[in-house]
Copies of this chain bind each other. A is one copy, B any other.
Amino acid sequence: MNPSHFDVRHLDGLKQATRGKGPDASPCNACSVRHLAFCASLDDQELHQLSAILSGVELTPGDPLFDEGEPAEYLFNVTAGAMKVYKLLPDGRRQITGFLFAGDFLGLANDETYAYSAEAITHVALCRFPRRKLDVLLEHFPKLERRLLSMASNELAASQEQMLLLGRKNAKEKIVSFLLSLSERAVRRGQRDNPVNVPMIRTDIGDYLGLTTETVSRTFTQLKTSSLISLLPGGKVQLAETEKLRDVAEGL
């Protein structure tokens, strides 16, 4: 709860990504995730206009950002940390539909409400854009809309990959696919690929892969035993023989 206690390890780029709330010089210029985010398509001048409607949000682990069914008033851009988005069934069964990291956006909804809930895993920093105001900017900057479409299109491809995983892969293939995908996304953010950072707990991994915590744990143990991975302190996982892992992920 105490904001001075937050864990700096996960705050890649928070310092630089912090936005002022006042009308001072566009904080976006200094944003470390600008090249990853949906604002990447804008020049400095346009970015300034975008920064005028934005406000900063910070969350501590476990904080909800919004819940499924809430009016979708904002679109968000993660600038630091890790989040999960999920859907629930009435009896409590949960499917995590995605993990979000720096550069990812969330809140897209052309229904008037959010289709999923979002919650912080680590300490998180976000840019928040009121949809109504953002829509006006979108009309002015078609480039922004194009970039959004491009990112949505990427997400769609990722969703399809995830459906393949959920529908047709076994536990081992699921876990290995998951680790490889985390590694690849880290690379895209300019981070190291190999000791891959796994900030989420077993339950979250299970709810993402359609497994139980126990099965996730057992599968990790099994992969460890067959020397395909090793678990490092601090939630890091060392991948041995990426090539071999890529085969395992596809059932070869």
Chain A positions near chain B (C-beta within 8 angstroms): 1-2, 87, 89-91, 93-95, 97, 108-111, 115-116, 131, 135, 138-139, 142, 145-146, 148-150, 152-157, 159-164, 166-169, 207-210, 250-252
- 25 cross-chain CB contacts under 8 A: A1-B131, A1-B135, A87-B163, A89-B168, A89-B250, A90-B252, A91-B252, A94-B168, A95-B163, A97-B159, A97-B163, A108-B153, A109-B153, A115-B157, A145-B145, A145-B146, A149-B149, A156-B159, A159-B159, A159-B160, A159-B163, A163-B163, A163-B166, A166-B167, A167-B210
The answer to whether A156 and B157 touch across the interface, beta carbons within 8 angstroms, is no
The answer to whether A157 and B109 touch across the interface, beta carbons within 8 angstroms, is yes
Complexed CA–CA distance, A216 and B222 (Å): 32
The answer to whether A1 and B110 touch across the interface, beta carbons within 8 angstroms, is yes
Q: Which residue of chain B lies nearest to A161 when distances are taken between CB atoms in the complex?
A: B87
Inside 8 A of A138's CB, which chain B residues have their CB?
A: 146
Inside 8 A of A250's CB, which chain B residues have their CB?
A: 89-90
Inside 8 A of A164's CB, which chain B residues have their CB?
A: 87, 89, 95, 97
The answer to whether A167 and B108 touch across the interface, beta carbons within 8 angstroms, is no
Q: Which residue of chain B lies nearest to A146 when distances are taken between CB atoms in the complex?
A: B145
Pick from B152, B159, B161: contact of A149, CB below 8 A.
B152
Complexed CA–CA distance, A145 and B144 (Å): 11
Complexed CA–CA distance, A87 and B165 (Å): 10
Shortest Cβ gap from A215 to chain B (Å): 13
